[in-house]
Chain A
Amino acid sequence: MGSSGKTGAIPSATSPPMCGENNMAQELDQVVTKLFTQYSTAICAYIYALIKDWQLAQELTQETYLKLYRTRSRLPEVENQRAWVYRIAHNLTINEVKRRRRFTWLPCRFTDDSLHTNSTESTDQINERADLEETLKLLPEPYRSPLLLYSSHGLSVREVADTLNLSESAVKVRLHRARKMFRELYRREDQL
């Protein structure tokens, strides 16, 4: 915004900086749109894995886009854009969960979304998915997020650390513990 926020001002030949700023703003808008297009489904799936509510996951995905847009001026400083998008989504989700816990007297819309299925899935695949989700639900949140980001979404240890605002060594410890817990909890041991 700043000086370039004056709408309707026609940039003259004597004002090249404003033109540069506009180009920069346009570039950032394009980067935000590209990031959102690239990661929206993965982000929605990640949020769903944390909260088990598709409707809320969709809303929070849209919120992630808005937050990404609002903070787009910081994008040039961002080292890893994928981790940045995941970080915004993760923080929004955790805040929403906390907010809902605080206002417990309000009707909570967390629903069992097991009815949402991929039409190409067989019954066995659906059951397997249910078992897996049950296991993930049993993992404490500090262990669930690193495992989801690393194993499900393919982020590196560095990216997981950036997303969760942790040190790399903390992520390594959590991943180790998360894997041990998951191994013990997952019912379909024959698959592991």
Chain B
Amino acid sequence: MNQHEKIEPLLAIYNDLEINELQFVNQHLQTCSACTETLNTYQKMDRVLNDHAAAMETIASNLLLLRAPNRSPKIRSFKQRILLGLKNISARFK
């Protein structure tokens, strides 16, 4: 396994590297333009994807109308749901 093959998978998680891994990668980057370019590409990729997610979140917040619940949802038991269903049906025939 050459140096590139060792470094490349680490570039994919550059922001999440341990200190010793980061030192190892940075040392290699000083002498390798190909890996530096790959890292730049991955960082741009993160930026593009992050911007996209932010735009999606804006749309999502408009769609959800931020219905932040004021209270906990009411969880009904099976029996309660049956009784409620029967009540609704009988109300329809009244």
Residues of A within 8 A of B (CB): 29, 32-33, 36-37, 40-42, 44-46, 48-49, 54, 57-58, 61, 65-66, 69-70, 116-118, 120-121, 125, 129, 132-133, 147-148, 150-154, 156-157, 172-173, 175-176, 178-179, 182-183, 186, 191-192
7 CB < 8 A contacts A-B: A40-B66, A45-B57, A57-B60, A121-B55, A129-B52, A132-B48, A182-B45
Taking A45-B53, A192-B45 as known contacts, 18 extra A-B pairs with beta carbons closer than 8 A to each other, sorted by chain A number, are A29-B72, A32-B72, A36-B68, A36-B69, A40-B64, A40-B68, A42-B57, A42-B60, A49-B56, A58-B63, A116-B59, A133-B52, A152-B50, A154-B50, A157-B16, A172-B9, A173-B9, A179-B42
Cβ-defined contact, A118 with B58, below 8 A: yes
Contacts of A148 in B (CB 8 A): 49, 53
B38 to chain A, nearest CB (A): 9
- Chain A facing B: main interface SS: helix
B16 in complex: contacting residue of A153, A156, A183, A191, CB < 8 Å = A156
A56 to chain B, nearest CB (A): 11
Q: Within 8 Å of chain A (Cβ to Cβ): is B61?
A: yes
If the complex has contacts A33-B69, A40-B66, are A151 and B45 also in contact, measured as CB distance less than 8 A? yes
B59 to chain A, nearest CB (A): 5
Contacts of A61 in B (CB 8 A): 60, 64
B60 in complex: contacting residue of A41, A70, A120, A156, CB < 8 Å = A41
Cβ-defined contact, A44 with B63, below 8 A: yes
Cβ-defined contact, B53 with A152, below 8 A: yes
B57 to chain A, nearest CB (A): 5
Cβ-defined contact, A44 with B60, below 8 A: yes
Contacts of B61 in A (CB 8 A): 41
Looking across the interface, which residue of chain B has its beta carbon closest to that of A175?
B12
Contacts of B69 in A (CB 8 A): 33, 36, 65
A69 to chain B, nearest CB (A): 6
A-contact 0/1 string along B68-84, CB 8 Å cutoff: 11001101000000000
Cβ-defined contact, B12 with A172, below 8 A: yes
Q: Which 6 pairs from chain A and chain B are nearest by CB?
A: A45-B56, A152-B53, A44-B60, A151-B49, A176-B12, A176-B9
Cβ-defined contact, A44 with B55, below 8 A: no
B64 to chain A, nearest CB (A): 6
Interface residues of B in 4-60 (CB under 8 A from A): 8-9, 12-13, 16, 41-42, 44-46, 48-50, 52-53, 55-60
